[in-house]
Structure 1
């Protein structure tokens, strides 16, 4: 039964995306088929094989070790602030971002990351049929983050037509940065985080290839990666540490605001309508949850979490998911994969602002297709969750 529902889910996703396509005649189906097959194979390998389990455990183990190192610095500064055996969310989940950001800076400075990102992108461009820039940007977004990635291609931003700019922004919204992957792994199972990271990479190309198809000519297919301004090692390290701290503070501020706002709106709706705002959204999203593979009896609860992620962010939704202890393991897995992306309303402003800071005209272009961007990124998350549901 779950295979039939998965097929239905994929058909619904493709149907909705096809209906919104801006150039149906340009859609190339061969790369789409190849990438869907790759998604299925990768999901099977990561969720249902010993090799996949080994890789996930290894990946999770690396982050567990890094979080342990981060805890050394946090305990030195904030030791004794929490009760014995307890740890505030900000200290245990968000502040480790500072150390992970510093590590990314070191790998950038030593030219290890740029080398890996560039050549993985070149390999991907052979599979997805898109340009080298689009493929590079997708991999770079998954490492550097949805704002920082545009700095590395800022020389080309002003020269890109609207359709290529859309693909770059869609990749940034569909993936998550490595600096916060460790935080996710403290909130949901690492295997779902890893699975989502891999599936979203290909899912972004699949949805963009339907929603926004185009061909890149050899003359246009040029990749110019902006070299970072030369700094001393300790200048760079200090900059990345501060950047990581800013991210932690921003996420904390957004959590305070969004959790409080949702609690207030829930209270108002419960008082007037006898049903909370999140429950109402749950009914709206329940059909989507069902075609993703969630059992119908749990579809409303799952839909509520999905809607929370869309209107607030993935951290708020992950916290809510953790509170729902009566959901089946299958539902938890499908929803967890859905949550691992930056597809929410606030990301429209973040991405448009990042591009605008580098090129004002292009920033305005991004702001105009913001809702279309969110639709595409959400379809990527739904597709990844549907594929993962086949093997849960």
Structure 2
């Protein structure tokens, strides 16, 4: 029965994407089918095989070590602030972002990341039926972040059609930055973080291919990656350290605001209606949770967490998941965990539009105009990834 629900779920997601399509006649079916099959195969390998387990353990082990090293720096500066046995969220989850940001800067400086992004992007372009730029951007978004990725392609931003710009922005919203992957792994199981990143990459291309189909000519299929301004090694270190700290502070500030706001809204709804706002959202989103493979008995609770992610951000939703995960089945926990690993929320519209506008004002206005459609597509990507995982769990 669970397989039938998951198949229905995929059909519903593809149908919802089709409803918003710019040009249904030009949709390329073959790449979409290939990528769906690849998603299923990769999800099975990562979650159900010894090889996948070794890969997950290896990646989780690397991030565990990185967080351990980051902890030494945090402890040196903030040691003694926390009481014994406590784990302050800002110190243990957000501040390690600074160290991960430094590592990304080092890999960028020595041209390792650009080489990886171009290489994998080229291979992806042979599968997804899109251009080299779109494929590169999908990988780059996952490695350097949804804002920074546009700097690497700023030479071409002004030349892009709205269709190609949509695909670039959709990739940025559907993935997550490598700098905060370590933070996610402290909140949900690493195997679901890694699986979601892989599935979202292909899911972004699948949904974009349906909502926003187009063909890139050979003349247009050119990749021009912006080289960073030449800096000394220590100038680069300083810049990436400050960038990582800014990200940690921004995420921390957003969490303070969103968590407090949700608590206030929940309290007001409880006083007036006798039920929390999150519970109401849970009922609204429960049908989506159900087609994702969540059992009906857990669909309302899961739907509330999904809605929290959409209206706030994934960190707030992961915190809420941590509060109720003991009451959830392992299957539901896995499905919802995969759904949460993406930047698909309302605040990301402003972040992406602002990033593009900072580089090209005209194109930034174009992004702002299709912002809601962008969020719609990115949310479908998260739902699709969760459904794919429901086949395996």
**TM-score bin (small chain):** over 0.9
- What SS is found at the alignment partner of 1:389? helix
- Shift in Å, 1:84: 1.1
1:122 corresponding residue in structure 2 = 122
Give distance in 1, aligned partners of 2:52 and 2:331: 18
Superposed CA RMSD: 0.4
1:351 corresponding residue in structure 2 = 352
- Shift in Å, 1:31: 0.3
Give distance in 2, aligned partners of 1:363 and 1:163: 14
After superposition, the C-alpha distances for 1:165-193 in whole angstroms (9 at most, x for unaligned) are: 00000000000010000000000000000
After superposition, the C-alpha distances for 1:342-389 in whole angstroms (9 at most, x for unaligned) are: 000000000000000000010000000000000000000000000001
1:87 corresponding residue in structure 2 = 87
2:196 corresponding residue in structure 1 = 196
1:340 is aligned to 2:341 = yes
2:313 corresponding residue in structure 1 = 313
TM-score of the two chains, using structure 2 as the length reference = 0.99
- Shift in Å, 1:85: 1.9
1:372 corresponding residue in structure 2 = 373
Unaligned runs of 5+ in 2: none
- Shift in Å, 1:19: 1.0
- Shift in Å, 1:34: 0.3
The correspondence of residues 15-30 of structure 1 with structure 2, limited to 5 A, is: 15-30=15-30
2:239 corresponding residue in structure 1 = 239
Give distance in 1, aligned partners of 2:359 and 2:272: 46
2:167 corresponding residue in structure 1 = 167
1:227 corresponding residue in structure 2 = 227
Give distance in 2, aligned partners of 1:261 and 1:230: 43
1:36 corresponding residue in structure 2 = 36
Give distance in 2, aligned partners of 1:221 and 1:22: 21
- Shift in Å, 1:124: 0.1
1:208 corresponding residue in structure 2 = 208
- Shift in Å, 1:158: 0.5
2:275 corresponding residue in structure 1 = 275
After superposition, the C-alpha distances for 1:97-149 in whole angstroms (9 at most, x for unaligned) are: 00000000000001111000111000000000000000000000000000000
1:262 is aligned to 2:294 = no
2:298 corresponding residue in structure 1 = 298
- What SS is found at the alignment partner of 1:390? helix
Give distance in 2, aligned partners of 1:364 and 1:276: 37
After superposition, the C-alpha distances for 1:53-92 in whole angstroms (9 at most, x for unaligned) are: 0000000000000000000100000011101121200000
- What SS is found at the alignment partner of 1:226? coil
Task: Number of aligned residue pairs: give it.
Answer: 392
- What SS is found at the alignment partner of 2:153? helix
1:134 corresponding residue in structure 2 = 134
Give distance in 2, aligned partners of 1:241 and 1:322: 29
Give distance in 2, aligned partners of 1:103 and 1:57: 20
1:58 corresponding residue in structure 2 = 58
After superposition, the C-alpha distances for 1:254-302 in whole angstroms (9 at most, x for unaligned) are: 0000000000111111111111110000000000000000000000000
Give distance in 1, aligned partners of 2:85 and 2:285: 38
After superposition, the C-alpha distances for 1:297-326 in whole angstroms (9 at most, x for unaligned) are: 000000000000000000000000000020
- What SS is found at the alignment partner of 1:116? helix
1:326 corresponding residue in structure 2 = 327
Give distance in 2, aligned partners of 1:133 and 1:191: 29
Give distance in 2, aligned partners of 1:67 and 1:264: 33
Runs of 4+ in 1 over 2 A off after TM superposition: none
TM-score of the two chains, using structure 1 as the length reference = 1.00
